[in-house]
Amino acid sequence: MVNKSINASWNKLLSDEFEKPYYYKLSELVNNAYEKSVVYPPSELVFNALIKCPLDKIKVVLIGQDPYHRIGQAHGLSFSVSDGIKKPQSLQNIFKELLNDVPEFKIPKSGNLEKWANQGVLLLNTILTVQEGLPGSHKSFGWEVFTDAVIKLISENKTNIVFMLWGNYARSKADLIDENKHLILKAAHPSPLARGAFFGSRHFSKTNAFLTEKGINAINWNLE
């Protein structure tokens, strides 16, 4: 894995992490996986969330689990799909919640969330690669050690970040975040298979209310 593609602010923050033994093992496993099987996202987009959202621009962290595992879907941003790809049901539900939560929101044609990333929304999966057709297949690689470190370092080095934690898996990351410095929003996962309430959580309007209160520009959730 090439770390040079991540911008300088991330490289500086994560430089110690890149030198730890687990990361060398992780890199070896990921590189071997790309050589021997079909893996998503494309290798140049593994760190796309960090590339699209520099450390100094972060306002929101939206935590996902692992990438979509079908051809053409994953491009390194949690919940997002490439242009021209059918929106997964979780993403459709996210848009439905936005429609009810943010008056000016309109359902977009594309499920590509890059416009959010460009405004400071870190769309971070906790596992950054997956074998085609096998969700969770790279769970044992060590990605979570790395992304847990990313979450913790953001908490330690930034202030007034909104962390959106959807589902039990994402909510378990709350222990890595200093709730005295940041806003933590929790809800059920937007998947139609999830239990609990996602609809009506109003996380998008709550996020903008918090950012505005702190003197930070709100997120324009519209994608068109």
Which residues form the catalytic set?
66
Looking at beta carbons, which pairs linking 198-201 to residues 24 or more positions away fall under 8 Å? 198/93, 198/97, 198/166, 199/93, 199/96, 199/97, 199/100, 200/97, 200/100, 201/97
> What number of other Cβ atoms are within 10 A of residue 172's Cβ?
13
DSSP letter string over 57-82?
Answer: G--EEEEE-S---STTT-SSSTT---
Instruction: For residue 45, give the 3-state DSSP assignment.
Output: helix
> What number of other Cβ atoms are within 10 A of residue 133's Cβ?
12
